[in-house]
Structure 1
Amino acid sequence: MGAIANQSNYEAEPATLTRREERQVVVASTVGTLFEWYDFFIYGSLAVFMSQVLFPPDNPTVSLLAALGALAVGFIIRPIGAVLFGYLGDKLGRKITFLTTVVMMGGATLLIGCLPTYETAGHLSWILLLTLRVIQGLAVGGEYGGAVIYVAEHCEPKRRGLLTGWIQITSSAGLILSLVVILITQASMSAEDFRHWGWRLPFILSIVMLAISIYVRAKLNESPVFTRMKQQKRLSRNPVKETFGQWRSLRLVLIALVGATAGMGSTYFTGQFYVMIFLQQAVQISQATVYQLLIIGFVIGAPTFVLFGWLSDRIGRKWLMMAGLFASALGYHAMFGALLSAGNPALAEAMKTTPVSIHADASGGSCDFGLQAALVSAHSDHKKVCVQAKKFLVSKGINFEYAAPLPGQPIAMSVGGVTVNGFDAKAYGEALAQAGYPSKADPARIDRVSIVAILILMTAVVAMIYGPVAAYLVELFPPRIRYTALSFPYHIGAGIFGGLVPFVATYLSQASGNIFGGLMYPVVVTAIVGVLGCLLLPNTRAEAVDHDPSY
């Protein structure tokens, strides 16, 4: 696959590949990465269904948050996988991580499809789920660094952004593939069958892609840069110690995190993943319609990852990424507001003309919805009538304002001149319907063209950061510790700052009583990271990736 000649000078640029050899390297790297992202996203796409069968059924809201929490666990564990496989990649080679991570991910995905339900196994069902999510997180933590480094260490500097951009596109491609498989599965059976057992099929079917990925990756040669370092005895004795124990390298890791990857993760999972939850939970569009719109929008928008990778080869990477961060911070409220207006105009109009008021003493703690309550169903916060009213309204995509308490009433709701004392879901629903609030988005009034256009715009904003970041990180770190040093800040940013977006944003929306409240998290993170990135990030150069500067 790689007709790369050995070179004794470690700063010499690798021999130029033919276009055919480039394609072989890129395809071999992206196929396995696409599969791993499919595995990782298939869980998030089916979290609503899994929350109904793998978690306690007594509180649907808490079960959904717990399912999203399990999604977050897989992301949080990724930095550990980055260190573990970064060490192996810098010590033993890039290729070994490809096979190991893909087998771990594929095996865990298959087993998730075979998990017992809460009804049959009790708490063991979600304990096993968390265990498998940990394995998936470790695998993804080792996957990304190996893939982008493998491609970058083969290609010529002036094409590094373009070719690593194909690795960046696999995350969106994996999400698209997961949605397509889910839609096909749902179309082949009744809704009841899918809810009970059909959701397992997308997990089990991944065994086909696992076999293909193993076959492709087994044929890969080792990275030419790693091969030369090994021959010239330039490998790090302990890449973890050298990365985190020496200030000159740790400093670069921290700068990459606070100046780029934390914002990258927050932007990506807001514009590519949380938007899916928002369209279903807040805009009240059916799941099938949401998936169809996402597939169209993401397919059209996906080439922008390669486009901005290519553009970074021409104009530089740093300021392109900073522009994407500020576009996210400044534009998310407007974009999500436009999604609401396009997807459910009746709801948007009702909230504008006939606002909802909750009469309660908000300052007295009766309406507090603590973070512990989002995780523990037995917590007393769930028994508060004000909390129940808040969750009911937010689950319908309805914002509200607090008003003065009514005499003798701990909670009451007013809308359209009608006041409902206490909390009664049926009475609330009737009052809201009379005031013009729809129970669901009207399919006939959904502006699909506008929604797809907004999704394409969101994808392009994400791509401004995500497209160039792989090449940027490769250029930032020296080859002897590159796998470890690159993977750690990337997976802290994507795994923790990004992976927490669905859970934290959902929690903030429910806690604040505002369907846009969850956007506070990504907006603040991207704004801070954008400022720090402008001040701290160095401008990397498209030099030979064998180059080992005195950083």
Structure 2
Amino acid sequence: MKKSDRLVITASSLGTVFEWYDFYLYGSLAVFFGTLFFPKGNDTAAFLASLATFGAGFAVRPFGALIFGRIGDLVGRKYTFLITIIVMGLSTAFVGLLPTYEDIGILAPILLTFLRLAQGLALGGEYGGAATFVAEHSEPDKRGSSTSWIQTTATLGFLLSLGVILTCRLYFGENEFKAWGWRIPFLVSVILLLISVYIRLKLHESPLFLKMQSAGKLSKSPLKESFAKFQNLKIVLLALFGATAGQGVIWYTGQFYALFFLQNTLKIDFQYSYILISASLIIATPFFIIFGKLSDKIGRKKVMMTGCLTAALAFIPIFKGLTQFGNPALSAAVQSSPIVIYSNNCQKDCKDLKDYLSKKGYNYAYQAISQEGLMTRIGSIEVKNFDTVVFDTVLAQAGYPAKANINEINFPMVILLLTILVLFVTMIYGPIAAFLVELFPTQIRYTSMSLPYHIGNGWFGGFLPLIAASVVVQTGNIYAGLYYPIAIALMTFIIGTLFIKETKDNELDRH
């Protein structure tokens, strides 16, 4: 690899790592934000509200793709993703300065949501610029390999956020961290912003963009050319439903939802859940490069579709394995003493009980009965009405643990299962940047590739934690949240296999 190519990849990747770090801090701290920025009184509702705010940043990512994609196709790749990283860095720093609900009331979640929206807009413009910039500098037979470095950045940014948070939580202690120490990881983004801007100012504009600019062939209306022409719109839709939607749900299941599952369902202490996730990320991250290189040889489509299918088939067995090896007592209690709620009007009678069981991460089923009142069977024990003290006692007698016993966690097996989840991510995410860049002509590439990527990741993937958690609360099945990513991954596999052509031999310098 030439020195100039290494500079392009390093500068683009490093800045994108920092931008993902900024964006994912909120997700890593979502368990705290429910109590910090939302009204107290219902912990489940507050947690779901914090996940909804997390999802809001993803909701606007496609709009960021349109805004900054257009600028990138009109003005240039380099200066566009300079703007995006500045917006991201400042928005993240302001989260670290934001007063809580206790300080300013309802204004706190409003301001938090506004900053998440700003982050989402910025990220919507960042990824397309970085991927396009690197691909347009790369040799044709190494585009998968070169752009796969960009693909590592989301995972590395997530890993960096976990590392900084873990360090702060251990250094300050839980009480200090909850009180004010959570702000430090957000404020650190100012330092990362300065480094990123300094490095990116050293880059030169994409040679393909400069060539088209000098020839006067730049698009005058990237949005119209991208989405008003049926031929290009069809490719955008195929890219969304046949690639990025499945990639988005696999990414967020394998990393974010896995973290939520360890902490909120299996009740594994934060330091151990962070270590487990981090270990799996470290082990699996090189496979982004491996699968990117493989896609240069056998094609993007084969690697990506294999990842979609295997992930869809393996999600439920893997998460059941995480329960078995991460919290054996919970796994045993679910088998030996299932929880069944009986009521003739569960919407009225069961709300507090469902919130209680969901917060504890316990499986439960519901059966309608004719007589009025609420009754719950825990194994062979029947409990009438709902009283937390009584339920705490009965559940403990039935073997349900309040939290995971660290001495019972099978660390090697949990890390292995988490690593397999991340390997699914690397299979589809490693080649996808090259795949998207190769689909579209140069003059509208930034705009056209950014929109399906950010709808797939921002909407299909970004709302996954909220959708999955809501399904679990409604059904009482701790694995029911996985039905959503499984369905989307299978949809992508079918559409991608039947309707998308291989792209690895496509010329980038085309109109």
Identity of aligned residues (%): 45
Whether the 8 Å contact between 1:168 and 1:470 is mirrored in structure 2 is yes
**AA partner of residue 360 (structure 2):** K
Whether the 8 Å contact between 1:357 and 1:402 is mirrored in structure 2 is yes
Which of 395, 404, 414 matches 1:451?
414
Which of 392, 397, 406 matches 2:356?
392
Which residue in the other structure is 1:333 paired with?
316
Which residue in the other structure is 2:445 paired with?
482
**AA partner of residue 474 (structure 2):** A
Which residue in the other structure is 2:463 paired with?
500
Mind listing any 5+ residue stretches in structure 1 that lack a counterpart? 1-17, 369-383
Q: Distance in 2 between matches of 1:108 and 1:80?
A: 17
- Superposition pairs of residues 416-495 of structure 1, within 5 angstroms: 416-495=379-458
**AA partner of residue 399 (structure 1):** N
CA RMSD of aligned residues (A): 1.1
Which residue in the other structure is 1:308 paired with?
291
**AA partner of residue 422 (structure 1):** N
How far off is 1:398 after superposition? 1.5
Sort the Cα spacing of 1:259 and 1:406 in 2 relative to 1 into closer, same or farther, 3 A.
Answer: same
How far off is 1:192 after superposition? 0.9
Greater Cα offset, 227-236 or 386-395: 386-395
Whether the 8 Å contact between 2:20 and 2:153 is mirrored in structure 1 is yes
How far off is 1:412 after superposition? 1.5
Is the aligned partner of 1:107 residue 2:119? no
- Superposition pairs of residues 152-167 of structure 1, within 5 angstroms: 152-167=135-150
**AA partner of residue 367 (structure 1):** C
With the length of structure 2 as denominator, give the TM-score of the two structures.
Answer: 0.98
Whether the 8 Å contact between 2:69 and 2:450 is mirrored in structure 1 is yes
Q: Deviations over 1:92-116 (max 9, x none)?
A: 0001112100000000000000111
Which of 346, 351, 354 matches 2:329?
346
Runs of 4+ that moved beyond 4 A: none
Is the aligned partner of 1:367 residue 2:355? no
Whether the 8 Å contact between 1:31 and 1:213 is mirrored in structure 2 is yes
- Superposition pairs of residues 78-477 of structure 1, within 5 angstroms: 78-361=61-344, 366-368=345-347, 384-403=348-367, 405=369, 407-408=371-372, 410-477=373-440
How far off is 1:307 after superposition? 0.8
Q: Distance in 1 between matches of 2:454 and 2:364?
A: 37
How far off is 1:190 after superposition? 2.2
Is the aligned partner of 1:546 residue 2:503? no
Q: Deviations over 1:380-424 (max 9, x none)?
A: xxxx3312212222222211223454855x211111322111111
Q: Distance in 2 between matches of 1:249 and 1:359?
A: 54
Count of matched residue positions in the alignment of Structure 1 and Structure 2: 511
How far off is 1:256 after superposition? 0.5
How far off is 1:427 after superposition? 1.0
Q: Deviations over 1:464-516 (max 9, x none)?
A: 11111100111110101000000000000000000010100010000111111
Whether the 8 Å contact between 2:337 and 2:380 is mirrored in structure 1 is no
Which residue in the other structure is 1:9 paired with?
none
Q: Distance in 2 between matches of 1:506 and 1:499?
A: 13
Q: Distance in 1 between matches of 2:117 and 2:335?
A: 44
**AA partner of residue 277 (structure 1):** F
Q: Distance in 2 between matches of 1:157 and 1:312?
A: 12
Q: Distance in 1 between matches of 2:234 and 2:93?
A: 40
Q: Secondary structure at the match of 2:162?
A: helix
Q: Deviations over 1:503-541 (max 9, x none)?
A: 000100001111111111101111112111111111113
- Superposition pairs of residues 504-543 of structure 1, within 5 angstroms: 504-543=467-506
How far off is 1:236 after superposition? 0.6
With the length of structure 1 as denominator, give the TM-score of the two structures.
Answer: 0.91
Sort the Cα spacing of 1:192 and 1:406 in 2 relative to 1 into closer, same or farther, 3 A.
Answer: farther
Whether the 8 Å contact between 1:413 and 1:428 is mirrored in structure 2 is no
Higher relative helix content = 2
Q: Secondary structure at the match of 1:438?
A: coil
Q: Distance in 2 between matches of 1:440 and 1:319?
A: 42
Q: Secondary structure at the match of 2:188?
A: helix
How far off is 1:40 after superposition? 0.4
Q: Distance in 2 between matches of 1:403 and 1:76?
A: 36
